[in-house]
Amino acid sequence: MNDALTRDDFLGGQVQLLQPKTGYRAGVDPVLLAASVPAVPGQSILDLGCGVGAAALCLGARVSGLSLTGVELQQDYARLAERNGGGALEVVVADLNDLPLDLRDRQFDHVIANPPYFDRTAGRAADDAGRETALGEDTPLLIWVKVAAKRVKPKGFVHFIHRAERLPEILAALPQHMGSIEVLPISPRIGRRAELVIIRARKNGRAAFKLHAPLILHEGPRHLQDADSYVPLVKSVLREGAALRF
């Protein structure tokens, strides 16, 4: 391992990821995303914008026997994802706007994505190129949603984690055949507004829309000390690989 990389533990060490020391680094968001997917052994997973493989590999650690595929635009991150997967994660280096033909011919039981959060028409770009590509939206959010909906099998699920203020865009972008929509707001603390949301939709689903009670991440009304303050449910998801059921 060179000096430009770190090796970081996820799920209490069940998953170890090489990541750039500077630039975009996976945090809790892809772990929460992976925990929300109701996958069962034998199913196939497509992670759009997989980065170093955090979401796909955390999902694979929780549910055995999955077929994992990731798409990543940045070659450096894609190579790290392949190394981190150790053969368990197929990584395709491609732009969502120009997926290779063999991938366009495939459909998956679950498609997951943690798209870039920030619309750069309304914000400032990050200095690091890798971090900017991961966080600053270049490919429109509409494209992420449309590609996910195309690549999921009938009755399969798509899951996104994103900023709460972008929820209307995601809901508006979902094609009509994506139903059974559920939204899980994620709030840092009791009494604080939701900052993130997880959106679930099912291809050809017919169930009524569900807006769930917020998932609260931290105990207490405010940050008091530099210590782990996650609520027990979130701690079990982040440290033990538990499922996030909603």
Return the number of other C-beta atoms located less than 10 Å from residue 183's C-beta. 19
* pLDDT single digits (tens) 45-78: 999 999 999 999 999 999 999 999 999 999 999 9
Architecture of domain 5-240: 3-Layer(aba) Sandwich (3.40)
Check pLDDT > 80 for residue 82: yes
Instruction: Please give the pLDDT value at position 171.
Output: 98
Mean predicted confidence (pLDDT) in 109-123? 81
- The structure tokens listed for 204 are 């050809």
- Residue 13, pLDDT above cutoff 70: yes
Q: Please determine, for residue 224, whether its predicted confidence score (pLDDT) is greater than 90.
A: no
pTM (2 d.p.): 0.90
pLDDT at position 228 is 79
Q: Please give the Cα distance from 68 to 99 (Å, whole number).
A: 17
For residue range 159-196, list pLDDT tens digits in order.
999 999 999 999 999 999 999 999 999 999 999 999 99
Per-residue pLDDT of 26-42, as tens digits, reads: 999 999 999 999 999 99
Q: CA-to-CA distance for 179 and 201, rounded, in angstroms?
A: 6
Q: What pLDDT sits at residue 125? A: 47
Contact 44, 20 (CB under 8 A): no
3-state secondary structure 84-117: HHCCCEEEEECCHHHCCHHHHCCCEEEEEECCCC
With b meaning 16 or more CB within 10 Å and e meaning fewer, what string describes 81-105? bbbbbeeebbbebeebeebeeeeee
Return the SS3 of 81.
Answer: helix
225: confidence class by pLDDT, cuts 50, 70, 90 = low
